[in-house]
Amino acid sequence: MLKHRGFPGRLPGTDFQFTIRRANPRGVTPIVARDRYRDRRPADRRADEIFLAALWEHFGDQPFERGNLDAGRLSWLFGREVIAAQDPFDPTSYEALLRIDVEVARRSFPEVFGGESA
């Protein structure tokens, strides 16, 4: 499992995890698209925003390996701001390639991109 050095491990001052320390010996947690409803807590939305900002800072619009990125946190963005960068895509692989869909990400989280609008 690739460890993304320099990537924040969690949202400071919270239990919102961004990375995992080691591979799960019982199997890889799959990435699944989770529904985000308008009534989500502000802290949850803030965690998504900071996580997307960290992805943007580290990878930009280039494909990146899932590696030690937390499946739960990725799942809140998957299928919208973060999409599969390979076909076929294996949601249970630490080597799976992902990428930011910049156009969708700018619409969803304009503050991450300096308020830019697509």
> Is 18 inside any structural domain?
yes
Domain encompassing residue 32: 7-111
Residues of the chain with pLDDT under 50: 118
Q: What is the pLDDT of residue 15?
A: 86
Q: Is residue 53 part of a domain?
A: yes
Could you tell me if residue 118 is inside a domain? Answer: no
Distance CA 106, CA 30 (A): 26
**How confident is the model at residue 115, as a pLDDT?**
65
Residue 96 has a pLDDT of 95
Count of structural domains within the chain: 1
For residue 2, is it within any domain?
no
* Per-residue pLDDT, 116: 53
Q: Is residue 116 part of a domain?
A: no
- Is 52 inside a domain boundary? yes
* pLDDT for position 118: 45
The pair of three-digit structure tokens given for residue 4, joined into one six-digit string? 């993304």
Residue 15 lies in a domain: yes
SS in 3 state form for the chain?
CCCCCCCCCECCCCCCECECCCCCCCCCCCCCCCCCCCCCCHHHHHHHHHHHHHHHHHHCCCCEECCCECHHHHHHHECCCEEECCCCCCCCCCCCEEEECHHHHHHHCHHHHCCCCC
Note whether residue 1 is domain-resident. no
The answer to whether the predicted template modeling score (pTM) of the entire model surpasses 0.75 is yes
